[in-house]
Structure 1
Amino acid sequence: MEQMLELFFKHGLRPMSLMAEAAELEQTLNRSEISALMFLEYRGELTMSELAAELGAPLSTVTSLTKRLVRKGLAERNQSDKDQRIILVRLSDEGRKLAGQAKAMMENMFARVQAALSPEELQQFLTLAVKVGKALQHKEDKDSAPSDRTVRKIRIDD
Structure 2
Amino acid sequence: MQQLFELIFKNGLRPLSMFPDTSYLELQLTSSDFSALLLLKFHGQLTMSQMADYLGAPLSTVTSIAKRLVRKGYIYREKSQQDQRIIVNRLTEDGELIAEEALGTMNTMFSRIERALTAEELQQFIHLSLKVAKALQHNAEPEETSKSSKLRSIEIE
TM-score (normalised: structure 2): 0.85
* Residue 139 (structure 1) aligns with: 139
Deviation of 1:10 after TM superposition, in Å, equals 2.5
Structure 1 residues 34-54: Cα deviation after superposition (integer angstroms, max 9, x where no partner) = 000010001111111111111
| Structure 1 residue runs without a partner (length 5+) | 143-158
RMSD across aligned C-alpha pairs, in angstroms? 1.5
Structure 1 residues 29-78: Cα deviation after superposition (integer angstroms, max 9, x where no partner) = 00100000010001111111111111111111111110110110100001
Alpha-carbon contact 2:36-2:55 (below 8 Å) kept:
yes
Alpha-carbon contact 2:13-2:55 (below 8 Å) kept:
no
| Structure 2 residue runs without a partner (length 5+) | 143-157
Measure, in 2, the Cα distance between the counterparts of 1:9 and 1:64.
19
Measure, in 2, the Cα distance between the counterparts of 1:30 and 1:17.
10
Measure, in 2, the Cα distance between the counterparts of 1:67 and 1:87.
12
* Residue 79 (structure 1) aligns with: 79
Deviation of 1:11 after TM superposition, in Å, equals 2.6
Measure, in 1, the Cα distance between the counterparts of 2:6 and 2:83.
30
* Residue 12 (structure 1) aligns with: 12
The alignment partner of 1:83 has SS state of: coil
Q: Is 1:115 aligned to 2:147, yes or no?
A: no
Structure 1 residues 130-156: Cα deviation after superposition (integer angstroms, max 9, x where no partner) = 0011111111317xxxxxxxxxxxxxx
Is the radius of gyration larger for structure 1 or structure 2? 2
* Residue 152 (structure 1) aligns with: none
Aligned length: 143
Equivalent positions of 1:1-158 (< 5 A) are 1-141=1-141
Deviation of 1:28 after TM superposition, in Å, equals 1.2
Measure, in 2, the Cα distance between the counterparts of 1:81 and 1:117.
46
After TM superposition, the structure 1 stretch with the greater mean CA deviation from structure 2, 81-90 or 67-76, is: 81-90
After TM superposition, the structure 1 stretch with the greater mean CA deviation from structure 2, 94-103 or 9-18, is: 9-18
Measure, in 2, the Cα distance between the counterparts of 1:11 and 1:56.
8
TM-score (normalised: structure 1): 0.85
**Identity across the alignment (%):** 52
Deviation of 1:23 after TM superposition, in Å, equals 1.2
Deviation of 1:6 after TM superposition, in Å, equals 2.0
- Find runs of 4+ consecutive structure 1 residues off by over 4 angstroms: none
Alpha-carbon contact 2:15-2:35 (below 8 Å) kept:
no
